[in-house]
Amino acid sequence: MRLSIAVNWPVYIQRPPSFRARRMMVTLPPERKTVSRAILIVDDDEGVRENLAELFDVVGYRVLTAASAPEAMEHLARERVDLLLTDYRMPGPNGVELIDAARRARPGLRAVLMTAFGDSFTEIESVRRGAVGYLNKPFEADEVTGLVGRILSLKGD
């Protein structure tokens, strides 16, 4: 994963910097207070779970993680969650069953199913049970962050 930060000078300072000047005053826009969106990442593979958690933390989301469907349901009972990002194949209830149970507990919850073992039946079943997104593993960082961003930008619960 390669992250890069580009500065758009006209947005952040009133005039482009003069690199000849020894001193320069930078005027920043007022800080905006926003409530960060919460994502619950569920995957039995600790490496995948932690990598995704770190990625979404860097992007600016509040991240919760769970290794199983029962653990995820405990988080959903205690915490405000805006999006459920779950693996399909896990010990115990699978990701589709988790999405179904989570949406019964929280009807407006948005969910994305990730799988390395996908087929059209799994994709159709996940949508039927309430998933609004589907990702085939392996995927790129910008693919998953872009999908999550688009889903969370949709209006309504």
**What pLDDT score does 46 carry?**
96
Asked if residues 114 and 45 have their Cβ atoms less than 8 Å apart, the reply is no
**CATH class of the 33-153 domain in this structure:** alpha beta
Asked if residues 111 and 102 have their Cβ atoms less than 8 Å apart, the reply is yes
Name the more confident of 36 and 24. Answer: 36
**What pLDDT score does 26 carry?**
53
Among 143, 142, 87, smallest CA distance to 115 is for 87
CA-to-CA distance for 134 and 138, rounded, in angstroms? 12
Among 129, 88, 130, smallest CA distance to 108 is for 130
Q: What percent of the chain has pLDDT over 90?
A: 61
Name the more confident of 154 and 25. Answer: 154
From residue 149, give the alpha-carbon distance in Å to each of 6, 26, 59, 142.
19, 30, 10, 10
Instruction: Give the residue extent of every domain in the chain.
Output: 33-153
